[in-house]
Chains A and B, each alone.
Chain A
Amino acid sequence: MSISGIIHTGTSGLLASQTRIAVTSTNITNADTTGYTTKSAYQATTVVGGVGTGVTIVGIGNSVDKALMSEIMEATSSASYESTLYTYLNSVLNSLGSTSDGSAMEETMTELMSVLSDAITAGGDSSSLDDVLTALDSWTSTLNSASDAVQSAREAADEAIGETVDSINSILQELDDLNEQITRNAAMGSSTSDLEDSQRVLLEELSSYTDINYFTTSTGELQVYTDSGTALLTSSAKELEYTPVGGLTADITYDAGSGTGISGITINGVDVTSKLSGGSLGALIQTRDEDLPAIQDALDELATTIAETLNAVSNSYSAAPAPNSLTSDGAVTATDAFSGTGTLTVLTVDEDGTVTGSQDIDLSTMTTYQDVIDALDGVTGVSASLDGDGNLVISADDADSGVVLTGDGTVDSDGRGFSHHFGFNNVVSGTGAEDLAVTATLAEQGIPVATVATTTVGETALESGDTTGLQALWTALDDPMTFDAAGVMTSTEKSAIGQIAALIDEVADLTTAASDATDTAESLRDELTETFDNTYGVNVDEETAKLVSYEQSYQMASQVIVTARDMFDTLLGMVN
């Protein structure tokens, strides 16, 4: 080997050491960079004619465990999914009550029963009945607020879906840009490992939004698909489109293909909502379309069952003094067919509750609602007609008289008693928790408090101080009633308070379960991420040691050159 060959070998050592020191210094300076992995410079012996002639750097990079990476993606998606479900359930639970403040739904129901009890003891005087009205109003208001809270949470979830879709689109765009750089670098033979670090960070973020599958083609291009195989990134990024609805109510729902209500998330006009599972986006869709509506259904069942129970009772009694007119709760179509059985007795009573007129109507002879209206209008001293809103109004002709409905007449279409069918003496009305309210005419007509004691003219039908109607309302709330299975609740027989407690308990249990699932999923994700980061992250002490070692290599290589120069000098001296 020639002396110049030795110098050449020494130089290759210097260059290699320089490169390795450069890589190490990048490692040290990036020790805190998110997603950065330790890079190494791989070197090999240069061989010429079977003889080693120095050293050369053959590549810079690292190789990460692909299986571990995909486990991390899955764990990230699952942690994000659980924590999103928890966030929304918890917000609904908090709106239902807390340990220190108690539950408004329970407190107003307890208060309602308490003021009913007070009114019973007070013989149903006007101030105690005012309290009952106020308490009924508070109770329906808390149900309305609970329903509002559920729908606000749905709306928040819907808006979050819009934001998540935007985030996914921007990540896909960035990944698409990275793909371009990676293929270019790979073609030029440059290192792509730093670009791959960025790609991995983006993929991890993407998997927190939705479940993904991905692979890299032979040209180094990354392709991303949803868990169910819909392409998100191939040669270009597919843009997801979604417009949040805003002002969500219980009856606005997502129904694929219906074209109404909440629209789907689309790619090029194709609805892919059902393909986007897992991650925070999957959780948001699940929350908006399944979990929160299930709570809403349970609230609605609670509201309608209690309302139906109260109304069934209140329609068997009469306000005292009897109201001058009774108005139906809801419009009546005169031409609709009517079918009923039994006898309806229409009474007119004076201010003292004494019967001044009594007339029976045989419901089995009626075939349309118009027949019923005509029959009622035909009663002496009573007029019946539909008002401007289509409500049936029965009124006593004498302004000082009241009108009372009694008897065993029932309507076949819903099996309810005549008065209950029309809702003449309804205390609450509405179709669900969202709109349940004290019946508009209740304050004017008065709360039905008294039993109709007689239908005989001249006798007292409504005794003063009779509170059997209030007692029946109280008992109806205290006794178990049948709640059908709805949403999160199973079919059960419970008192009003019992069912309210059971509903809050169920939501609390779901929230607790979601909280536990979040903890488990997050600790799995953290553990896997920790393993990955510990394996591939920068250890500063390790790099420092390497730095010292590379410095020594550099010094050694310089020594080789110095030695070769001395050899040259010696040789020249010999020649001269």
Chain B
Amino acid sequence: MRVSTSTMTSVLLSQAMKTQAEYNQTITEQASGLKRDSYVGLNGSAGLSVSLSSDLATSEALVTRSETAQTQVETAYGAISSIIDIVQSALVDITGAINGTTDTTDSLQESAQGWMEDVADLLNTDVGDVYVFAGAGGASAPVDLADTDYDPTADTTTADTGYYQGSASTTTIMVDGSIGLEYGITADDPAFEQTLRALSILANMTTDPVDTDALREAYALLDSANGDLGEVQESLSTQSDRLDTVIDQQTEFQLYAESALESVQSVDVAEATAKASEQEVILQASFSALSSFLNLSLMDYLS
């Protein structure tokens, strides 16, 4: 067994360079926190890394969308509470008018006009330029009482949604392949239509003599609307709960996906540090081997 001087030198040198390259790779990992920049370094988990990245982005967008939706649903809920207050004060005032405890129905007529405008304003509530009662899109105010198609007093017994300017569809959030989560309520819902029709009857009734038939008709409509508005609020509350569930599920999923992605892509810093110091020792040994080989020569012993 013999060795060639030049081969030995280059072998020792290339071993040292290889160790140095590995050391360099480890400290780069330590510095960047990533295993390798190329998918080659992910040990067959490249596909997992790609789909997890996509799932994470999708989930984050879904949570943002759901949170926006929740704000809209809650705003709508609040607006309906105010409408219910108006309906209830109207009911009290009508009762008073029918029982004759109220001096004049003139003020009731005036109030009805104001309430109508208030209800219309409440239905035109917007959050960040999105009208919450306008359905899908919600880009324009959903209620316009001045619309020429709207004439509720023409036939007070039939529903008239001529005031409605919004979309025919409710807003939808895509959660997964088969489920589109619909949320929100549009301003042409019977509860709002009845409220507006009743207030319109009040605002346009004859006050002298008092049109008790109109008062009774308005009372019946508002009474029904009062119940319906409660139900609408309940359904909004259910929607809010469902959105909450989506947000919770997605947030939980994100935690899982982030940790899974990290375990695929990232290095364990403690492990990388330990590996780096181990390789540092090997590299030192490698250099020292090269040095002792180069320093040892027969010439030094021949004299």
Contact = CB atoms under 8 A, between A and B. Distances in A.
Interface in B253-303: 265, 297-299, 302
Contacts of A463: 167-169
Given A98-B38, A122-B136, A534 B8 contact: yes
A110 B46 contact: no
A336 interface: no
B6 A538 contact: yes
Interface in A497-515: 497-498, 500-502, 504-509, 511-512, 515
Contacts of A539: 2-5
B45 to A, nearest CB: 8
Contacts of A125: 137, 139
B4 A537 contact: yes
Interface residues of A, number: 68
B88 interface: no
A31 B6 contact: yes
A103 B38 CA distance: 11
A31 B5 contact: yes
A118 interface: yes
Given A125-B137, A478-B177, A544-B299, A509 B44 contact: yes
A106 B137 contact: no
A121 B172 contact: yes
B44 A117 contact: no
Contacts of B138: 123
Contact of A98 (B37, B69, B167): B37
Contact of B57 (A114, A471, A512, A530): A114
Tell which of B4, B61, B177 has the most Cβ of chain A within 10 Å. Answer: B4
Nearest to B171: A121
Interface stretch (A76-84, A89-97, A216-224): A89-97
Contact of A504 (B6, B47, B302): B47
Nearest to B32: A100
Tell which of B2, B45, B51 has the most Cβ of chain A within 10 Å. Answer: B51
Nearest to A495: B177
Interface in B188-203: none
Interface string B26-55: 000000101111111111111111110110
A90 B38 contact: yes
Nearest to A505: B47
A463 B178 CA distance: 22
A343 to B, nearest CB: 27
Interface residues of B, number: 57
Nearest to A471: B180
Contacts of A123: 135-139, 167, 169, 171
Contact of A508 (B32, B42, B302): B42
B80 to A, nearest CB: 21
Interface in A456-484: 463-467, 471, 474-475, 478-479
Given A99-B36, A99-B39, A99-B265, A508 B46 contact: yes
Contacts of B299: 544
Contacts of B37: 98-100
A540 interface: yes
A117 B60 CA distance: 13
Nearest to B61: A114
A414 interface: no
A68 to B, nearest CB: 14
A500 B46 CA distance: 11
Nearest to B46: A508
A308 interface: no
B176 interface: yes
B28 to A, nearest CB: 12
Contacts of B220: none
Contacts of A106: 50-51, 53-54
B65 interface: yes
B298 A541 contact: yes
A502 B47 contact: yes
A32 interface: yes
A247 B265 CA distance: 37
B173 interface: yes
Contacts of A31: 4-6
A405 interface: no
Nearest to A96: B39
B71 interface: no
Nearest to A541: B298
Contacts of B51: 106, 497-498, 501
Interface in A93-140: 93-94, 96-100, 102-103, 106-107, 109-111, 113-114, 116-118, 120-125
Contact of A534 (B3, B40, B45): B3
B302 A465 contact: no
A369 interface: no
A204 B302 CA distance: 38
A93 B171 contact: no
B258 to A, nearest CB: 14
Contacts of B99: none
Contact of B42 (A99, A110, A502, A515): A99
Nearest to A460: B168
A538 B8 CA distance: 10
Contacts of A107: 53-54, 57
B17 interface: no
B174 interface: yes
A545 interface: yes
Interface in B126-177: 135-139, 166-169, 171-174, 176-177
A444 interface: no
Contact of B50 (A94, A97, A474, A478): A97
A535 B173 CA distance: 75
Contact of B4 (A90, A474, A538): A538
B39 A98 contact: yes
Contacts of B101: none
B11 interface: yes
B89 interface: no
B70 to A, nearest CB: 13
A535 B61 contact: no
Interface in B53-77: 53-54, 57-58, 61-62, 65, 69
Which 7 residue pairs across A and B have the least CB separation, nearest first? A537-B4, A465-B167, A123-B137, A505-B47, A123-B136, A508-B46, A533-B7
7 contacts: A94-B38, A99-B34, A107-B53, A463-B167, A478-B177, A509-B44, A512-B40
Interface of B: 2-8, 11, 32, 34-51, 53-54, 57-58, 61-62, 65, 69, 135-139, 166-169, 171-174, 176-178, 180, 265, 297-299, 302
Interface of A: 31-32, 38, 90, 93-94, 96-100, 102-103, 106-107, 109-111, 113-114, 116-118, 120-125, 463-467, 471, 474-475, 478-479, 495, 497-498, 500-502, 504-509, 511-512, 515, 530, 533-542, 544-545, 548
Given A107-B57, A118-B61, A495-B177, 4 more contacts: A475-B174, A501-B51, A505-B44, A508-B47
